[in-house]
Structure 1
Amino acid sequence: MKETKFIPYDEEPVLDTNTLMAALGISRKEANTILWDLFEKEYIDLIPVLDEEKLNLLKPRD
């Protein structure tokens, strides 16, 4: 029997340069301009939220 691969589900869509370029068919410069404009108008925060579980995986173990 063939193994089924599930499509990952993200609760919140990712809004970054690459997704804007792909969705709108625009250049990297145009996508970055849009992101900075949204940041300056305080619609989005460009600082990512740390995922504590993933961060713990990166810490060295004694």
Structure 2
Amino acid sequence: MGKAKAKAKQVKGKLKETVGGAVDDKDMQAEGRGEKMAGKAQETAAKAAERLKKSGQ
């Protein structure tokens, strides 16, 4: 997964978290936090893969 898709997942998670808070839906908030964290992890992995590729490994 590329950095752009990972960022999109983070934004989607943040949106779910915000909407969940607005409608007082704890499950939606938790789901949003999970998506946001997963997106951050995927972005970090994509960055690491790019660094390895650039270093010629």
TM-score range, shorter chain: under 0.3
Asked which structure has the greater RCO (Cα within 8 Å, sep 6+), the reply is 2
More helix by share: 2
TM-score by length of 2: 0.26
* Greater Rg by CA: 1
TM-score by length of 1: 0.25
